[in-house]
Amino acid sequence: MSGGRVCAQSGLLVDGETRVLTDPSEYYHPAVGVAVGCGRLRCESCKAWVRSGPPGLGLKANTRVDLRALHAAPDWSALAFVEEPYRLFGRMRLHACTCTHWAAESVQPIDNDRELDSDPDVPWACAGHPAPELPLSLNDLVIDAGTNWTQLVDQILRGSCPRALERAEALGAEPGLWLAWLYVYLRGLPVADQLSLAIADRLEDSEPQVAGRVLYFFVHFPRARGIEKVVANVEADIHRVALGYPIPESPPALTRWAVLQTRLANAPDQRDDLDLRVESLVERLLVVPRSSLPHDDLGPSGTGDFERQRRARLGWDSATLKYVLDDFARLRASERTDVVGHALGRSAAMFAGAERRRFIADHILEIDAAAPGRWRQALALLSDWHDKPAQGHLIVVAGARVIQARLATPDEFRTWIRERRRYGWVDAAWVTPLETMLEATVALEEALAEPGRKFQASGQEHDGKRVVTIYSLAGGGARELLPMQVPAAEHDALVAMLRARGCDQAETEFLTRIVWVRKPEGVEVFDGRRRQLDAAGDRATLADGRVVERSDVAQVFTWASDDHAHRGIHATLRSGEEVELVTEIALAATGDPTYNRNDLLMDSGWCTTLGRVIASWAGATFEDRI
C-alpha cells in the first residue's frame, strides 16, 4: 500500500446525511472540499474493521448491547437492541467494531482534542487505502498508460468530472476540487506526477479562473511535481506574486505568494534545493516595497460574488446574507491589503525555523520600510509560543531595533505589549529590557524637546560601550541634559540620528566640564555656565566680551597654577600681552591634600587637546606648559 494514502485526521465519523466511502481507493483529503466517511477504519484494540450502519439507526436506551453480534449482523435493523430514532431525517449513523461503538449526529474527525461530549473518543484510525489499478474509467475520463494528460486536465477544467459533487453549495462543477480529488485518488502511482505536471503547465492560461485553479492545486499540494514551474514563474517576475485569482472553490483569492507560503510551511527539516529557492524568494519579497506588488484580483467575478451565490443556494435570507457578506468582505480585505504582512502575523509555520526567525529579527527595519507598520506583525510572529523560551531573545533583538529606529512611539510600543499579553508569549525576559529601552527613548525625546540649541559629545570606548551626552545651550553654558550608554557598535548610528535631529557634534574629555564644538571657521568653547570662547573667522570673542584678532595671536599655551587647582589655555599676543582664553578651577584639587602633579596631568589632558585646536585656528605656535 502506498505511503500517504490515508484519510486526514485519522478519518471522519459521519452522520446519516454524509456518504461513507465504498471504493477502497478513495479517501478523505481536505483539498477535495467534500467530507466523506472513511470506509477502512480499523480498531487498535480489537483489530476489527469498523462497520458503518445505514442512516437513522441507533441503539436503544437502557438495553443490553451485544457488540459482537452487531458487528457480525448483515442487517442491523433486525437486532433487538437497535432502533430507528432518526430515520425521518437520517441524521444519525451508527459505527461499531467488536469492542466500541459511536453514534454520529454530525461529521467529526477521529483525531480531535475531545473537549466536547460530541467529539469522538474511539480507538479507531484509517488503515490506509490501496492505489487503484489501471486502466480505470471515471465517467468519461479514461486513465491508462497512454493517457494524454494535457487533454485530460483540459477536460476537467471544462467541467468533465467523475461525478456530481456532494456539496449543496457547489457553484457548478468546480474543477479545482476535481483536480485535487483525482491527484489524491492516483497518489502513489507514477501517473500522479504526470497529472500535476500537466496542471502546472496551465499557470499562464489567459483565463484567470484556470490560473486560480492551478494555484489552488499547488497551495494544497506544495510538494507535488510541477511546483518547480510555479517557483520559476515567480522568480521570473516577483511583482505578480500578490495578484489574486478568485475561484468558486476557495473563499480567499489564490496567489502565487500562497503557494510559496505553503511550500515553506510544509518543508521538512532536510530541505531540498527548491525549498532553498523558495526561502530565498520569501526573504526577497519581505523587503520589496508593498507599493510595487499589485494586489488586484483578476477575473470576471470576485470572492464576494461567489460567496453571495453560494449562500443564496443554501437559502439564506437577505438580512442575514448582508451581515455575513459584509463580514466576509472585511476578512478578505484584511488578507488582500498586504499578503506578505498578513503571512507574517498569521502563518507561524511558514517562519517556524530558527534561521527564518533570525532573518525577521535582523531585517525588521527593512521589512517595515517595505510596508510601514509591519513591525507589529513581525514582532507578533517572534512573540508567539513557538520554541519558547529558546527563541525569546529574538524579541529583544527585533524590538530594540524598532525602538531605536523610532518606528513606533513609546506609547504605541507599550500598547502593542499590552495587546500581546492576550495572545502571545509575554515574559519579563524580554519585556523588562524593552521597557528599559522605552524609558530611555522617552528621556531622549524629552531632552531633544528642550528649547534652544543642543549638541552631543561622545566618550571613549570602555568595555565595548560608549557614553553619548546631550547638552543644552539654552542657559548660555553647556548644561548636561542626558547621558546615554550604548554598545560601541551602535554608537555611530546614534550619533548620526542625533545630528539629523539638530545636535551638532562636540568634544570633551573625562573629568572636565569644558566642552568645545569645532566649526569650519573656528571653535566654540563652553563650561557649564557660559561660553568662554568663540573663535570664528578672523577674530575670537572672550568670556568677558573682549575681541581678539586672529592675526594678533602669536602663541597658544597651556598653564596651571602652583596649587594645581587652576588650569586652562592662554594666548600670547604679538604685543606681548598674555590673555586667558579658557579656564577651569578643579574643586578636587582644592579640597584634597593628596592631589599631586600626576593627578593634574590626568585631569588636564583636555587643555592640550583643545589648545592645539585653538592654535590651529589662529595659525600660531602651541606649547604645552603643564
pLDDT of residue 84: 84
What CATH fold (topology level) applies to the domain 515-624?
PH-domain like (2.30.29)
Percent share of the chain, pLDDT over 70:
99
Please list the residues that pair with 157 across neighbouring strands: none
**H/E run at residue 558:** strand 553-560
Distance, CA of 138 to CA of 181 (rounded, Å): 12
pLDDT of residue 2: 45
pLDDT one-digit tens code per residue, 570-608: 999 999 999 999 999 987 787 788 899 899 999 999 999
- Cell readout for 264 is 515553506
pLDDT of residue 3: 55
Distance, CA of 405 to CA of 402 (rounded, Å): 5
Distance, CA of 228 to CA of 234 (rounded, Å): 10
Spans of the chain below 50 pLDDT: 1-2
**pTM for this structure?**
0.80
DSSP states along 478-518: -EEEEEEEEEHHHHHHHHHHHHHTTEEEEB--TT---EEEE
pLDDT of residue 170: 83
pLDDT one-digit tens code per residue, 49-69: 999 999 999 999 889 999 999
Residue ranges covered by each domain of the chain: 204-352, 454-506, 515-624
pLDDT one-digit tens code per residue, 386-406: 888 889 999 999 999 999 889
Q: Are strands 51-52 and 136-138 parallel, antiparallel or unpaired?
A: unpaired
State the greatest distance between any 2 C-alpha atoms of the chain, in Å, as a whole number.
Answer: 132
CA atoms within 13 A on the CB side of 521: 8
Q: Is 35 exposed, middle or buried (0-12, 13-18, 19+ CB in 10 A)?
A: middle
